[in-house]
Amino acid sequence: MIYDSENLDHNWTQLRADLMKRFGKKPDLNAILFLIGIQELGMGVREFTKEEKQDLMHIATCRVFAESGYYEFTGRDEEGWPHFKAAKPIPFANLKEQEQMLKWHVIEYFNRADDIRKPNP
């Protein structure tokens, strides 16, 4: 999958700048995935173990790829953690293309979140 790299770079830079305004420092991709994971977990900010941090990033990755049908939400476990299953294979890509694909999905995640928060005219 190929993304318009100029547009992707612009949108990615804008997203990072917006998050920097809100949180005080410019996050990298991993920090943004961690943030999405916390949001999707829905239990607020607290201390997380190293394993939980990895799980949060996995949740985020599954969540953003779910919008394109690559993963499907299957429910929450007894502790309230969301679970996903692979729905279709993610296209093979080299590392740069994988990163572009992930960034594009993250941008779309935040765009959808912004659309939800906007009041109807």
d(Cα 32, Cα 19) in Å, to the nearest integer? 9
Residue 117's pLDDT is: 46
In angstroms, what CA-CA distances link 74 with 9, 53, 56, 79?
Answer: 33, 20, 16, 14
* Mean pLDDT, rounded, for 16-21: 94
Is 85's pLDDT higher than 70? yes
d(Cα 10, Cα 68) in Å, to the nearest integer? 22
* Mean pLDDT, rounded, for 28-54: 95
pLDDT in tens, 90-106: 888 888 899 999 999 99
* Mean pLDDT, rounded, for 54-74: 97
Residue 3's pLDDT is: 58
Domain ranges of the chain: 5-117
Residue 113's pLDDT is: 81
Residue 115's pLDDT is: 55
Residue 30's pLDDT is: 96
Residue 114's pLDDT is: 72
In this prediction the pTM is 0.86
Residue 119's pLDDT is: 45
